[in-house]
Every structure is written in structure tokens, then in C-alpha cells.
Chain A
Amino acid sequence: MKHVLKHVAVMLGAEPKKPVAEDYSPEAKAMHAEQRADKSRIEAIHLELAHKAQHKTPEKWRRRRWAVLIAVNLLFVVSFQLDIQILEGALTASRFVGFHMADLNSALQVMLAYKEVVINLMIGTTTVLIMWWLLGGRTFCSWVCPYHLLAEWAEMAHDYLAKKKIVKDHPFDRRVRTVFWIVFAVLAFVTGYTVFETISPTGILSRALIYGPGIAMVWVVTLLLFEIFYSKRAWCRYACPIGLTYGLVGAVSPLKVTYNLSTCFHEAECKKVCEVPHVLDVVIKGRATDVDLFIGADCTHCGRCVDACPTHSLNLEFKGLGQIFK
């Protein structure tokens, strides 16, 4: 529980704290000491990094994830276009073979604005709540949200331009996302309109795919350009209240990225690829308070760190079932 609260605080915008002496388990303490004493590790790390530089590991989780993301969104499209009625509606609310589903943040906006909840919306919201609790909350972001995919491509463009020193990343204070979440909830309640839906790139893109694009795509393109030229992954990192809503659900999810201190070389390859690097604070040398840990609530389970880690110290696991898919 203490871990969960700590992870939620970091997700809301707190900076990860350096643990104090009593936080460490005896095993972790012993392991840190052993690692410090073992001079051969440094050489091993250099060898490992040199090896990795020559052999690019395939990004298998990213491939799987993109396949799922595209498949889910295509299922929406073909359900309507070919009238096969498997997944009707859009990402804000839908029916999967007849069962109601409602996006948690969209449902929240409607409930706050309308101040009444019909039974179908309650069913849809509960179904989705249970589903994403099981599947890890922000897993929605990286495995389903169509904006995430475009943002990943924008990130590639940003990284390319940054390498050529044409652009520079301008980070924001992460607490602003919590502010956005509260402000949009209050605005829905006070104005009686679903204010956030107006600018939600997730809703705009999902509807654009299914029903055809409109001028709302200008806003989506603006966000992408902002991320390419000014601030890397800005929307998902600092703004999107949908991500925070799912993050809160995922805080107590059985699906986790797990970390094992015994094999970690602290090379921080994982942090380089992470959308939310603050969740990987434990991989910094000396920070892990236990030998086995799980990564915090803000993690989208995109699996890029799992692919990037040269020593397999990070894995995607389902509590009680262990590593699902290698």
C-alpha cells in the first residue's frame, strides 16, 4: 500500500524521492553493497553496452503493441464500414458484441456535466473499469489510444531533429496534468458541457477514423507539431486527463512491469526510451529498496523498457501468473 501511494504521488507530479536508510530491505542493502564492491561489474557493463551498440535488439513489444492498437481501431472502423457490428461506436463509448463500454474519462465528463447517470452508462463504465484494472490502467494509452501511435511517430521525428541539434526538448512541470484533470472536472460540472471532449485528441482521432476526418484534425496536427518542435511527448506526459484517470485505475492493477535489482547494470537504457521516465527512478544505482520491485502507476506498459534493457531486469508480469509472454 505504501508503494502504491508513493507511485500515485509521483504520477500526480511529485518528484521521486531518494529512499532513506530504513526503507531498504536487508537483501537489497546487501546487494547494493555487493555490487559496489564488485569492480568487475563496470567492465561487464562496458562490454554489454558495446555489444548492444552493435546488435540492435528487435522491439518486439512495440511490434505487438502497434499490432493491437491498429487492430482495435480498425475493428471500430470495419464494424461500421462493413456493418459487421462487432465493436460499434467510438473510443468514447461503444458496444462490443452488444456489451456496453464507456471510456472512463468521457463517462466522468458526462456524469459531471449532466449530473445524472443512466443504467447503460453505469454498466459501460463499470465494465471498462474492471477491464482496465485487470489490464493495467494506462495500458489503454499505449495499446489502444490512436493519438499515442501518432505521438510515437512525432517522438521519432523529435529525436531525429534533436540529434541534429535542430530542436530541443522543453520539459514542463508534471504537476500540470493533475491541474488539468481537476480543472476539466470542475469545468464539466460548472458549465454543464463536456469541455474536455472539445480538445481530446483521442476522441477526435477515433471519430475521424470511423466517421471521417474534419477540421478538428487541425488541433491534432497542432499538438503533434508542438511535440516535434518544442516539447517531446507533451500531450501524453503533461496534459491528458484520460491518462491520469486510467493511471489511477492501474495503480492497483495486477499487471505490472517488474524490476529485478540482482541483474540490473544501471545503464539507464530503459529511461532513454520511456514516455514517463520518472517511473523508472528505481533503476538508478542505489535507489532500489528491494530486490524485486514493480514500476509505478504512471507506466503505460508499452514494453519499450523491457525491449531496451540489455540484462532483462525489466519484465511485463501479471501478479500470480508471472511473466506473460516472453
Chain B
Amino acid sequence: MATVKRTLRGKQKARRKFLRTVVLGVGVIGVSLLGYIPVVKRWRERIRPPGALQEQEFLASCIKCGQCVQVCPVNAIKLADLDEGFGIGAPYIDTREQACDFSCDGLQCVLACPTGALTHEINYSHQTDMAIARVVDEPQCLAVMGKGFKGQARGAAFKGKLRYEDVDRWNPIRISEYPYDLELCDLCVRQCPIEIRIAQCETGKPPSGDENQCPPQHAIKLETIASEDGIVRKRPVILDGCVGCGVCEMICPPEPAVIVMDGAESRGVVA
């Protein structure tokens, strides 16, 4: 009698163990698949570091190690959290907070990437394609209003950095440490890394003495607006050479920025 009871209890125990194992299996796999939602619904359109493959391939090939984060001289790259599902641990750039200003010149993040998620097929800043700039609120643009700019572009508390060649070629400094005094605001053009390179190349001094660093196309320009009141007004115009690095968005003084980055979906690989 006792043995019968024992085997029955044994069987019941085994069945319970089997059932809770099924629940565990379904539960863990179910939780992991929740990661699909933010990706499919595109909750966050992230701007990826230079050289990033098309979004799906990028998330497939990225091993989520953050080596790109570690080599960036301006700390532009951050890693995504769990709310980005399958994108967890993948690098992105919040351009308004800290854009990529290519102050490493050699695309260090691309070189650091162990899996080719940031493709090793590119070497220069103008070959990247992170996003494309777009002027969203032209009437708020200081240049359109005919206004100059004096002071710290983003205020004293802003932590974003840029490389100023006239200060230190090798050490980017805070924008707040570099006050401006401009008759007409032209910060987006003035600080554009592509435009800076073109200007350097025109004076016969390409970055690192390497002519391959010279961008073939302009990225942004200021266009004069015909005005009747005698005030000089200009509007920013985005050109084909824009790589979406986001420096114009970061430096833009009005809040919110007049220029933003249109991100991920426009991204392809430029070889």
C-alpha cells in the first residue's frame, strides 16, 4: 500500500516538475521575444555610429560589446537599454547631446568594431552616412531672423564637446568653454566637420596631410534671403555632402534645435 502511495506521489511530483519546466521554457523564451516589439514598432529611430550597416543587419551583426564607445574621443556613442528590445547594448548617438565631430579623423569606432557591424569598408568621414540633416523650424533660425550670436552656444551647463583646431588639435573641449561673438549666426556651417575639412583642403592643408580626407561635396551652406527691410538674412540649406553627424544640431542655439537629424531609415552603406 505504502509503495503504491509513494509511486503515485512520485508520479505527481514528476508531472509537476515537467509542467513547471514547460512554464519556465515558454516564459523565458516569451520574455526574450518581447524584444521584438520595440524593433518592429520602431519605438526609437536611433542614429548609429559611422559605418553602421542597414538597421536590421546592424542589429544582427553587433555583438553589443561597446568597444566603439570606448574609443570615441568625444564620448558621442552610448549603448541602448532593455527598452530597445533586440537592440539592447547596441550603440547609438544622441546628436543633440553629443554629436560625432570626427575629431578622431580615422573613424576609430569603425576600427574598433570586432564584427563589422560598423563596416570596415569606409575610412573617411565623408564616406559615412549616419543620417541627414533637415531644417525643421526655419522661422526660429537666428540667421533667418537676421540675428547674430554672442556667448556659449548651448549655455554654461551644456556638456557637449567639439574639437577646435585653433585651441587644441588633439583634445576636444566643451562647447561652453568656447564662447562665440558672431554678427550673423552661422554656427551650423562654421562647425560642420565636412565644411571644416573642405576649407582645410582648399588651403592645401588636408587633415593628417591626407588628400583622401577631402570631402568631394559640400554638406551645408547659408543662402541669402532677399529682404526688403535692409537686414541681412540667411537660411541654412542642407547639401548632398551631409553625412548626418549631427554637429549642426548640437551647436544650434535655439531650443529646440532648428536643424535635426533624420535618422536610421535613410541609412545605407557607402563604400
Could you tell me the distance in whole angstroms from the C-beta of B64 to the nearest C-beta in chain A?
Answer: 5
Interface-located stretch among A44-52, A115-123, A142-150, A310-318: A115-123
Tell me which of B25, B56, B67, B115 contacts A110 (CB under 8 A): B115
Residues on A with beta carbons closer than 8 Å to the beta carbon of B69? 80, 211
- Dominant SS among interface residues on chain B: helix
Answer yes or no: A180 CB below 8 A from chain B CBs: yes
B57 A207 Cβ-Cβ under 8 A? no
* A195 to B, closest residue via Cβ: B32
Q: Is the C-beta of B31 less than 8 angstroms from some C-beta in chain A?
A: yes
B residues 61-113 with Cβ under 8 Å of A? 61-67, 69-71, 78-79, 81-83, 85-86, 88-89, 112
- Residues from 1 to 32 in B contacting A, C-beta threshold 8 Å: 17-18, 20-21, 24-25, 28-29, 31-32
Does A263 make an interface contact (CB < 8 A)?
Answer: no
Q: Mark A108-136, 1 if CB is under 8 A from B, else 0.
A: 00100111101011001000000000000
Q: Are B32's CB and A114's CB within 8 A?
A: no
Whether a CB of chain A sits under 8 angstroms from the CB of B35 is yes
Contact residue range for chain A?
A: 35 or more
Residue contact B66 to A207, C-beta cutoff 8 Å: yes
Expressed in whole angstroms, the Cα–Cα distance for A290 and B86 within the complex equals: 49
Number of interface residues of B (CB under 8 A): 42
Asked if B196 is an interface residue, CB under 8 A from chain A, the answer is no
Q: Is B170 an interface residue (CB 8 A)?
A: no
Residues in B neighbouring A103, C-beta threshold 8 A: 63
Closest Cβ of chain A to B97, distance in Å, is: 15
In Å, the complex CA distance between A94 and B20 comes to: 37
Q: Kindly state whether residue A172 has any CB partner on chain B within 8 Å.
A: yes
List the one stretch of A215-223, A273-281, A296-304 in contact with chain B.
Answer: A215-223
Interface assignment of B39: CB less than 8 Å from any CB of chain A: yes
Q: Are B60 and A89 in contact (CB under 8 A)?
A: no
B64 touches A124 (CB 8 A): no
Q: Given contacts A192-B56, A193-B39, are A93 and B82 in contact (CB under 8 A)? A: no
A102 near B61 (CB under 8 angstroms)?
no
Contact of B36 with A by CB under 8 A? yes
B113 to chain A, nearest CB (A): 8
29 contacts between A and B (CB under 8 A): A92-B64, A92-B65, A93-B114, A106-B65, A110-B60, A110-B115, A114-B60, A114-B61, A121-B115, A124-B114, A180-B25, A180-B28, A184-B32, A191-B86, A192-B57, A194-B62, A195-B32, A195-B86, A197-B89, A198-B32, A207-B64, A207-B66, A207-B79, A207-B89, A211-B69, A211-B79, A215-B82, A218-B82, A239-B28
Other 13 A-B pairs with CB < 8 A, given A180-B28, A194-B64, A199-B31 = A88-B112, A89-B66, A93-B114, A110-B115, A179-B25, A193-B39, A193-B60, A195-B32, A195-B33, A199-B28, A204-B82, A207-B66, A210-B66
In the A-B complex, the 5 residue pairs with the closest CB atoms: A216-B82, A214-B81, A198-B35, A93-B65, A118-B116
